[in-house]
């Protein structure tokens, strides 16, 4: 008998369990597969947070596509947005005339996606859309249209399934709400 998973132990409660996430991921993948039929889909994983979501989502997409990766940052080690977006790892290929789908784990203030979409638009893709697993709508500062949303969630500190606090908690199949005493 070992301990239960540390992410679960450090969660006040589980917000989205694995079954709920996977069901919604499959629905999103089905819609994306239909919408991008006969297009040049390039799905872009925004590291690191969207790694689990991206992997599960793209396994369910049934049309030909390319998978690409980018790393941007808008946060320090604390829990609020700094308002700055820095490209840490850029796309390696030209996206001109490609149909780009940005895949993110969470949209919070919207600053990251606002700046990122402005940057990618300058590279002249055929189209540019956003798929986001979690949407904390009440925290929005920057205007941003999210085309595919997994779940709208309350303004809570979420961890697991790619989402971290100070680099930890990403490696869990469910999404929990971090116990307040661990970050306050």
Neighbours of 88 (CB within 10 A): 11
For residue 135, state whether it binds ligand PRP (rule: CB under 6 A): no
How far is it, in rounded angstroms, from Cα 78 to Cα 172?
Answer: 21
3-state DSSP assignment of residue 10: coil
Q: Kindly tell me which residue out of 49, 150, 160, 176 binds ligand PRP, with binding defined by CB under 6 A.
A: 49
Interacting stretch for ligand PRP, rule CB under 6 A, among 7-15, 16-24, 100-108, 176-184?
100-108
For residue 75, state whether it binds ligand PRP (rule: CB under 6 A): yes
For residue 107, state whether it binds ligand PRP (rule: CB under 6 A): yes
Rg of the chain over Cα atoms, rounded to whole angstroms, equals 16
Interacting stretch for ligand PRP, rule CB under 6 A, among 31-39, 44-52, 153-161, 171-179?
44-52
Give the shortest CB-140-to-ligand PRP separation in angstroms.
Answer: 8
Known catalytic residue: 108?
Answer: yes
What DSSP line would sit under 44-76, residue for residue? EEEETTTHHHHHHHHHH--S--EEEEEEEEEE-
Q: Kindly tell me which residue out of 74, 148, 150, 153 binds ligand PRP, with binding defined by CB under 6 A.
A: 74
User: DSSP class of residue 5?
Assistant: P
**167: region left, alpha or beta (phi > 0 left; psi from -120 to 50 alpha):** left
The footprint of ligand PRP (CB under 6 A) covers 46-49, 73-75, 81, 104-112, 164
């Amino acid at each position: 008998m070992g301990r239960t998973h540390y992410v679960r132990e450090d969660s006040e409660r589980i917000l989205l369990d694995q079954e709920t996430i996977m069901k919604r991921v499959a629905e999103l993948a089905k819609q994306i597969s239909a919408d991008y039929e006969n297009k040049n889909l390039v799905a872009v994983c925004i590291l690191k947070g969207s790694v689990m979501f991206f992997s599960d989502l793209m396994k369910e997409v049934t049309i030909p596509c390319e998978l690409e990766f980018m790393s941007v940052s808008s946060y320090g080690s604390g829990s609020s947005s700094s308002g700055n977006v820095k490209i840490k790892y850029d796309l390696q290929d030209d996206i001109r005339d490609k149909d780009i789908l940005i895949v993110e784990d969470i949209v919070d203030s919207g600053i990251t996606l606002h700046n990122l979409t402005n940057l990618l638009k300058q590279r002249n893709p055929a189209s540019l859309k956003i798929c986001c697993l979690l949407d904390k709508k009440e925290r929005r500062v920057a205007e941003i249209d999210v085309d595919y949303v997994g779940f709208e969630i309350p303004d809570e500190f979420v961890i697991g399934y790619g989402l971290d606090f100070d680099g930890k908690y990403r490696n869990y199949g469910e999404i929990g709400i971090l116990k307040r005493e661990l970050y306050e």
